[in-house]
Amino acid sequence: MDTQQVLAELGIEEINRGAYAGGWIETHGSELQSINPATGEVIASITRANGDDYEKVAANSVETFERWRMLPAPKRGEYVRLVGNALREKKTALGALVTMEMGKILPEGEGEVQEMIDIADFAVGLSRQLYGLTMASERPLHRMYEQWHPLGPVGTITSFNFPTAVWSWNSLIAAVCGDTNIWKPSSETPLTAIAVTNITHEVMAGTGFEGVFNLAIGSGSDVGDLMVKDRRVPLVSATGSCDMGYKVGTELAKRLGRAILELGGNNAIIVMDDADIELAVRAATFAAVGTAGQRCTSLRRMIVHKDVFDEVAKRMVSTYAQVTIGDPLAAGILMGPLVNETAVYNMLTALDIAKSEGGEVLTGGNRLEDLGPAYIEPTIVKMSKDAPILQEETFAPLLYLIEVDSLEEGIAVQNGVRQGLSSAIFTDSLKNAEKFLSHLGSDCGIANVNIGTSGAEIGGAFGGEKETGGGREAGSDSWKAYMRRQTTTINWGDDLPLAQGVEFV
Ligand code: UN1
């Protein structure tokens, strides 16, 4: 499929409206260009939403919510099932657009759409399983139980690196929960957001529920700010940097709004002396180089037991030499460009700091200007465990290799950062694995054994601790964040016994 076919199939025009409020509305913000990082070419333009446009989107979300919540949850699930079917039909085109707009390789672009399909299926099943508990009341002839009610319009702020999947984690689950959605995508990936909204529009058109999936493309300082301060939006789910999370989290706290925050990672793998080294090296390479190191689950730190350090370092360097870099749409390529040139500068800056802190570059470190301005070699730097740069998450294919003496030291190094998203251990020892998974081990939201840090399935709850923000999205019981819990006690007797045995009139 060439660019024009992809754009035509997804309804992308040369200049696109940046807001959807139950239908595409005219927008009045500044112009935004979507640039293909692999070629530097403008793919298409968008007229951003301004504050007035946001207001229309929000008002529509509120109005649609009043009606959407009246549908029984399994009926809402039926609409999400149709969205899943439509995504299946558009998987090739949408996967290609993800690749064109942010630079991840095509199998990963398509994988991202598969992640949306998986979530749609999960949400459909969930639409019949929004269970509440029944408790034993301490009072005779009383029944106590909890039920889950729709919450309202949910604001979803997504990042460039998973421009569509993370939207689906939030809005497809929120939809079966009875909520409507306002999506503020990254300014790096507005076209994928428009394409997804065209897909949901086709499914919802003519049903009266077009306003379940809304969109407002605008800058953080207008649309983002308005949404975060908007009391009609009871929950904002935001994915991005810790800096962004501090702003969104504190603004929400000022109005006591709810937050789901999915922020920086700084993820680590511990490789023990009893590990299957081949497995560890392959997993680490995918985790550090996949998506050009731009997943929030990407591997940043490989913490290796001293007895296998030299062997792991040697094998990592030779595996990196096999990583093919180039056009992310081309077959056989494993790494494309970074999202933009700024990301390349950020990586080079971190690399300079790492070197100044005693880092030794084992492989990589150079820009690949012949391929384009956003290309850089995946890089491994040997660092000592106390280097301050290890505290920073650099959103790029920059991996630090760190030597430790023991499992305990490895765990301490791993946990010794401000973030806490994903972690893994490679070991064939049951004791080591169990210790790593225990409360004495990893302090992260995700802790794996003999699997890398990235590439989580949607069935589990996704999110992390500490400065990662504490939010959980996608599988397990993450749906509860999109609903409000009501605890009910019913007295079906003739007396009025009080709890805690209190006697009154
Ligand atoms: C993200 O980078 O924000 O676990 C999400 C993974 C993917 C999702 C990453 N399933 O790597």
pLDDT tens-place string over residues 263-273: 999 999 999 99
Catalytic residue, candidates 110, 115, 188, 262: 262
Give the pLDDT confidence score for residue 1 in this predicted structure: 79
pLDDT confidence band for 90 (50 / 70 / 90): very high
Decide if 22 contacts 60 (C-beta within 8 A): yes
Q: Decide the pairing of beta strands 142-150 and 134-135.
A: antiparallel
Decide if 369 contacts 359 (C-beta within 8 A): no
pLDDT for residue 451 is more than 90: yes
Active-site residue 177, yes or no?
no
Domain with CATH 3.40.605.10 in the chain: 3-263+469-486
C-alpha 112/C-alpha 123 separation (Å) is: 17
Q: Indicate the pTM of the whole model.
A: 0.97
pLDDT for residue 395 is more than 90: yes
Dmax over Cα atoms in the chain, in whole Å? Answer: 86
User: Rg of the chain's alpha carbons, rounded to an integer?
Assistant: 24
378 lines ligand 1 (CB under 6 A): no
Domain with CATH 3.40.309.10 in the chain: 267-449
b/e string for 209-225 if b means 16 or more Cβ within 10 A?
bbbbbbbbbbbbebbbb
Q: What single-letter amino acid sits at 123?
A: A
Residue 260 in tokens: 């789901």
158 lines ligand 1 (CB under 6 A): no
Average pLDDT of the chain, as a whole number: 98
User: pLDDT tens, 456-497?
Assistant: 999 999 999 999 999 999 999 999 999 999 999 999 999 999
454 lines ligand 1 (CB under 6 A): yes
- Whole-number Å distance, alpha carbon 165 to ligand 1 midpoint, is 8
Q: Within 10 Å of residue 435's Cβ, how many Cβ atoms?
A: 18
456 lines ligand 1 (CB under 6 A): yes
Active-site residue 262, yes or no?
yes
Please enumerate in sequence order all residues whose Cβ is within 8 A of that of 90, keeping only pairs 6 or more positions apart, or say none: 9, 10, 113, 195, 199
Decide if 294 contacts 338 (C-beta within 8 A): yes
Using most ligand atoms within 8 A of CB, pick from 297, 299, 395, 453 the residue to mutate for ligand 1. Answer: 297
Angle at 170 between CA 255 and CA 25, to 5 degrees: 80
Instruction: Point out the ligand 1 atom lying closest to the alpha carbon of residue 297.
Output: 11
Nearest protein Cα to ligand 1, atom 7: 455
Give the pLDDT confidence score for residue 222 in this predicted structure: 83
Topology classification of domain 3-263+469-486: Aldehyde Dehydrogenase; Chain A, domain 1 (3.40.605)
For the domain spanning 267-449, the CATH number is: 3.40.309.10
C-alpha 489/C-alpha 258 separation (Å) is: 26
Q: Within 10 Å of residue 33's Cβ, how many Cβ atoms?
A: 12
Give the pLDDT confidence score for residue 220 in this predicted structure: 84
Nearest protein Cα to ligand 1, atom 6: 455
C-alpha 192/C-alpha 176 separation (Å) is: 23
Average confidence (pLDDT) over 164-175:
98
User: pLDDT tens, 217-263?
Assistant: 998 888 999 999 999 999 999 999 999 999 999 999 999 999 999 99
161 lines ligand 1 (CB under 6 A): yes
Instruction: Point out the ligand 1 atom lying closest to the alpha carbon of residue 159.
Output: 3
Q: Is 65 helix (H, G, I), strand (E, B) or coil?
A: helix
